[in-house]
Structure 1
């Protein structure tokens, strides 16, 4: 649902309004609307992507401050290669620039950078930048900032299925051992809790091939605000709204 709060209410949401003992462990975000944000301002689409990087910094900071364990950002999908070559090239350069500009602050805030996706198709400079950031931040114990880069959930599920089949054929796994827990251990998110909350900006209300398995019981929160305009108050509003919901996971509310 779209947020029921008016803009005046947004301005009043602060960390003091949040129950810090009940923040979601894992928040996933579909960062949508960069191109439309730029178009509305008569700017090229890449200007929207550049502005969106600044939003990543803000949201990573506030997520870290309130104690969220994992923040997964849908940065580039397996379908995004269909976009114009110039735009794709710019998007592939953004992780390197973001990590270069933000690395010192990431270290200060004890943030650990992780990459989730299929890296074979990524340009060397993009992959090397992220891998270097992973190495430099691997001992940090705070927020995990997980970039879903060249990620597609259907491809992830197919890949997991192939790996399970291969392990069964090679005698590493018995067919009777295959269950939801086993399957989950073959996914790219195996080391993280499933997302408690999914946020999507820009007004679109769909999942777009993002974490299809993992979002089975996630709370969904949509906002018409484009990603470059998404801010700390809106993020806190999403958390505040999440804390007002009853999560029954198929059971009855006590």
Structure 2
């Protein structure tokens, strides 16, 4: 049985702190961090990873200073404009989860256009969480379920919550030195292996990812059952 993960999730933390540690404005860190995402997508394709989910912008981030928030959104818009065709050529299917409508019509349309261009691709599914939080997802899904007056089965409820992602992540990587989930895809992380790295996101490279994969290959995943060595 192969121990290569199917699905990797990443909390890309440390952009602003990386920039300020070098005496630069925080937006420089976000700019460099966006280039790292491109590198890691390409790396994931080479390594045969099927699904990659990244935390682009949380609902809580919306309370940041307007100047920084505006720059974050402009970086994402530019990435869509510059990178959609490249993703399509690599066979990457882009999906964006979260309250995208809350970010304005222009960005929302750009997201949907990019999703449309890449929707039939099968090599890698790249899911970007934008204006998203795990609690928002749980509240939003519950509200939708309550709109249905018909009694729902356990399977229907499970399907409503689980359809956010194509599968549960095998691995969650958080860069930046913090040890917390920060309201990411909470419903899907019940049995995910967690890796907290001290390296900040702009310094994250293929060798860091490969180190995590090497560690994961040694893990016996039991999902609550008795392991073979017990």
What's the TM-score bracket when you normalise by the shorter of the two chains? over 0.9
Q: How does 1:83-162 map to 2 (within 5 A)?
A: 83-162=64-143
Q: Distance in 1 between matches of 2:180 and 2:164?
A: 24
TM-score (norm 2): 0.94
- Hey, what does 2:185 align to over in structure 1? 211
Unaligned runs of 5+ in 2: none
| In structure 1, distance between residues paired with 2:209 and 2:26 | 24
Aligned: 1:201 with 2:175: yes
**Runs of 4+ residues over 6 Å off in structure 1:** none
Q: Distance in 2 between matches of 1:90 and 1:190?
A: 27
Moved more, 186-195 or 233-242: 186-195
Q: CA–CA distance in 2 between the matches of 1:71 and 1:159?
A: 23
SS of the residue 1:146 aligns to: strand
- Residue 156 of structure 1 contacts residue 188 of structure 1 at CA under 8 Å; is this kept in 2? no
Q: Are positions 1:192 and 2:166 aligned together?
A: yes
TM-score for both structures, normalised by structure 1: 0.86
The aligned runs of 1:51-66 (5 Å cut-off) are 51-66=32-47
C-alpha separation in 2, matches of 1:55 and 1:92: 17
Cα distance in 2 for residues equivalent to 1:28 and 1:220? 10
Once residues 136 and 204 of structure 1 are traced to their aligned partners in structure 2, the CA distance between those partners, rounded to angstroms, is 36
1:251 aligned onto 2:218: no
Q: 5+ unaligned residues in a row in structure 1: which ranges?
A: 1-18
| Contact map agreement 2:162 2:188 (CA 8 A) in 1 | no
Could you list the per-position Cα deviations for residues 41-98 of structure 1 after superposition, in whole angstroms to 9, with x for gaps in the alignment?
1111100000000110111011111111111110000011110000100111112211
The 8 Å contact of residues 27 and 71 in structure 1, kept in 2 or not, is answered as yes
Q: Take 1:129 and 1:57, find their aligned partners in 2: how far apart are those partners?
A: 18
CA RMSD of aligned residues (A): 1.5
